[in-house]
Amino acid sequence: MSGNVPPKSQMSMSSGWKSFDELKEKYSPAEIKFEKGRRTVGLWLGPLLFLLILVMPTPSGMTLKGQQVLAITIWTITWWVCEPIPIPATGLLPFILIPAMGIMNFKDIFAVLGHENNWLMIGAYIFIGALVEHGFTRRTALWILSRRFAATSPFALIASYTAAVAIVSAFLSNIACTMLFLVIGAGIAEALAVNEEHPLSKTMKFGAAYGSQAGGLITPIGSPNTNFLAMGLIASLTKFTIRFGDWMAFGVPFGIIMFLVIVIYFRGMFKLELANLERAREYAERELKAMGPLSVGERNALIVLALAIILWLVPSFASAIAGPNAALTKTLDTVLNGSVVALLAAVLAFLLPVDWKERKFTINWTNTERAINWGAIIIVTTGFALGNAMNAKDVGLVAWSAKELAVLFQGASPWLIVLGFTFIGVLLTQFIPNVPAIGMLIPIAVPAAVAVGLNPVAMGLTIAVACQQSYAMPIAAPQMALVYGSGGLKITEFVKVGSLLSLISIPVTAFIVYYYTAWLFPYVPK
């Protein structure tokens, strides 16, 4: 692997799903056999479970439409887990079945395609794509690694590397960030004359994946498919809107805490003894110098990003100063709605010239087509569609779940309930992608929180974070599959390192995220 940045078309790829011909490049015959079995079983199991739920007696208190939505949800989740077809393609199922079965009017169900978070994602993909297109994300990573601190010890190098991953991942998708840092990490390993079996190489690979997980939680756009899905589901279930700044108010401190947990964990897990660490810094310095001074395109993209972040944060600051119900706050929430700001930033990226004489601008439509992850948008929209269907008055699946869970959890300690749901989220996301895990658990956990007197907004955010602590299995997230597929790691080693970190993340997530966000977002039922 060379020190060159991967093609930008690769850096925007969205899914871990591959055909069997593609799997042959990285997977062993045994792994391909397992994949075939998983996909074949899932292909038939999904519709079978759908039919079984439809023909069974309707549970007491559940409406017939609620039973139908449950059947559709189970089929969708089964195909998301087993992946007989790509995950975004599975996401189209509810849009076919919900109107076809008369659960909701087709106009109502298709209205979620215009959900504000979808437009926020589209706008963000466009202007973040400009940062990638002009190389600013790579420049940021190399600048951090070229600091003198990085050459003081092996631990300092790994800490600097993982910090760079987390910072870049706060604004770049996890999978693109992981790809970028696998390339940079390979260049550092080459400069230090260590092979892919060396503990440093392995630690940097884990750092690329784990650091992107931590950084992806810092801002909503860091991991847009999961974060925006969680924000949309929580808003649908609680009528509480989480703004961009609100997310960062808990995402920044938790991202920093998880970064510290990860680097301290690396220090205990890997014994790194290296000489000539200055070579790694010199490598980063050389690559940075080769990029030349900040280009016009980079400056323009940075201006757009800075403007978007400032405008996104203004309503949250207004809410903190004037109060959430103040006229100023409500006006800013409307005028500087997150989606409006994202689209404004996207349009600005099309307008800022790189070369006015040649009429070249910061981004063009070809770049945009590469940058927008339509698969992620479909998946998130599916979550909104299922959430709306579950919560519809004549469906009542959410209300029914809340009543049943209130009976189940009667007398249980609140902190045990939080810990239990966090454990389920972390465990589940080791074996299924985090998007379906979030789509499955938030509609259950939020009503449960209401039923037992816990803060449902805090519970939803706790589940969103728990379902992104997927470290133990290559299938858990695309960035994990990328790292495992890059070579140099045995599956036993991958599982051992990731499993222990996943266990550590359970109490960290349960108590820090829930209790901090419960304090941050006091919930008053509407």
Q: Is 361 helix (H, G, I), strand (E, B) or coil?
A: strand
Question: CB–CB of 442/230 below 8 Å?
Answer: yes
Burial of 22 per CB tally in 10 Å (0-12, 13-18, 19+)? exposed
Question: Confidence class of residue 24 from pLDDT cuts 50, 70 and 90?
Answer: low
pTM above threshold 0.85: no
Q: How far apart are CA 267 and CA 37, in angstroms?
A: 39
**Token match 């404004």: residue?**
344
pLDDT of 88 reads 85
Q: Is the confidence at residue 18, as pLDDT, over 70?
A: no
pLDDT digits (tens, 9 = 90+) for 485-504: 777 788 788 889 999 999 99
How far apart, in Å, do the first and last CA atoms of the chain sit?
A: 55
pLDDT of 94 reads 94
Q: Is the confidence at residue 297, as pLDDT, over 80?
A: yes
Alpha carbon 220 to chain centroid distance? 8
- Position with higher pLDDT, 301 vs 3: 301
Ranges of each domain in the chain: 18-114, 115-134+295-385
Q: What percent of the chain has pLDDT over 90?
A: 33
Question: Confidence class of residue 3 from pLDDT cuts 50, 70 and 90?
Answer: very low
Q: Is the confidence at residue 191, as pLDDT, over 50?
A: yes
Q: Among 395-409, 419-433, 440-454, whose mean pLDDT is lowest?
A: 395-409
pLDDT of 217 reads 94
Q: Is the confidence at residue 11, as pLDDT, over 50?
A: no
Question: Confidence class of residue 16 from pLDDT cuts 50, 70 and 90?
Answer: low
pLDDT digits (tens, 9 = 90+) for 142-164: 888 888 887 788 888 889 999 99
If you average pLDDT over residues 71-76, what whole number do you get? 93
List Cα–Cα distances, 379 to 95, 211, 373, in angstroms. 12, 24, 10
If you average pLDDT over residues 411-432, what whole number do you get? 87
Token pair for residue 187? 């260049």
List Cα–Cα distances, 215 to 180, 222, 288, 415, in angstroms. 14, 7, 22, 27
The tally of CA atoms less than 13 A away on the side-chain side of residue 146 is 14
Q: Which residues contact 310 (CB under 8 A, 6 or more apart)?
A: none
Token pair for residue 416? 């045990």
pLDDT of 4 reads 42
Q: Which DSSP string corresponds to 28-96?
A: -HHHHHHHHHHHHHHHHHHHHHHHHHHHSPPPTT--HHHHHHHHHHHHHHHHHHH-SS-HHHHTTHHHH
Look at the alpha carbons of 139, 143, 145, 151 in this order and tell me if their dihedral is positive or negative. Answer: positive
Q: Which helix (H) or strand (E) holds 353?
A: strand 353-355
Token pair for residue 443? 């509609």
Q: How far apart are CA 17 and CA 42, in angstroms?
A: 14
Q: How far apart are CA 473 and CA 494, in angstroms?
A: 7
Token pair for residue 229? 């899905």
* Bridge partner list, 355: 360
pLDDT of 430 reads 85
List Cα–Cα distances, 271 to 84, 268, 374, 498, in angstroms. 41, 7, 42, 17
* Bridge partner list, 353: 361
pLDDT of 48 reads 97
pLDDT of 103 reads 94
Residue 150 is classified by DSSP as G
Q: How far apart are CA 486 and CA 179, in angstroms?
A: 10
pLDDT of 17 reads 59
**Token match 């728990």: residue?**
466
- Position with higher pLDDT, 1 vs 53: 53
Q: What percent of the chain has pLDDT over 70?
A: 93
pLDDT of 251 reads 94
Token pair for residue 183? 């390339």
Average pLDDT, the chain: 85
Token pair for residue 464? 């969103």
The tally of CA atoms less than 13 A away on the side-chain side of residue 115 is 26
Question: Confidence class of residue 525 from pLDDT cuts 50, 70 and 90?
Answer: low
In angstroms, what is the C-alpha Rg of the chain? 23
Q: Which residues contact 251 (CB under 8 A, 6 or more apart)?
A: 217, 218, 219, 220, 222
Q: How far apart are CA 508 and CA 502, in angstroms?
A: 10
List Cα–Cα distances, 56 to 43, 104, 181, 397, 444, in angstroms. 21, 22, 51, 16, 21
Q: Among 38-52, 102-116, 178-192, 216-230, whose mean pLDDT is lowest?
A: 178-192
Q: How far apart are CA 304 and CA 361, in angstroms?
A: 13
Q: How far apart are CA 181 and CA 168, in angstroms?
A: 10
Closest CA to 15 of 349, 510, 475: 475
Q: Is the confidence at residue 40, as pLDDT, over 80?
A: yes
Q: How far apart are CA 66 and CA 94, in angstroms?
A: 14
pLDDT of 185 reads 84
If you average pLDDT over residues 310-329, what whole number do you get? 83
Q: Is the confidence at residue 350, as pLDDT, over 80?
A: yes
Question: Confidence class of residue 210 from pLDDT cuts 50, 70 and 90?
Answer: very high
pLDDT of 13 reads 38
Polymer length in residues for the chain:
526
pLDDT digits (tens, 9 = 90+) for 368-387: 888 888 887 888 788 888 88
If you average pLDDT over residues 391-396, what whole number do you get? 84
Q: Which amino acid, one-letter code, is at 86? A: P
Q: Is the confidence at residue 282, as pLDDT, over 60?
A: yes
Q: Which amino acid, one-letter code, is at 510? A: A
List Cα–Cα distances, 447 to 74, 285, 396, 401, in angstroms. 18, 52, 11, 7
Neighbours of 419 (CB within 10 A): 18
Q: Is the confidence at residue 285, as pLDDT, over 70?
A: yes
pLDDT digits (tens, 9 = 90+) for 438-464: 888 898 899 888 888 899 999 999 999
pLDDT of 7 reads 40
Question: Confidence class of residue 129 from pLDDT cuts 50, 70 and 90?
Answer: confident
Q: Which amino acid, one-letter code, is at 405? A: L
pLDDT of 20 reads 67
Question: Confidence class of residue 9 from pLDDT cuts 50, 70 and 90?
Answer: very low
Q: How far apart are CA 280 and CA 147, in angstroms?
A: 10
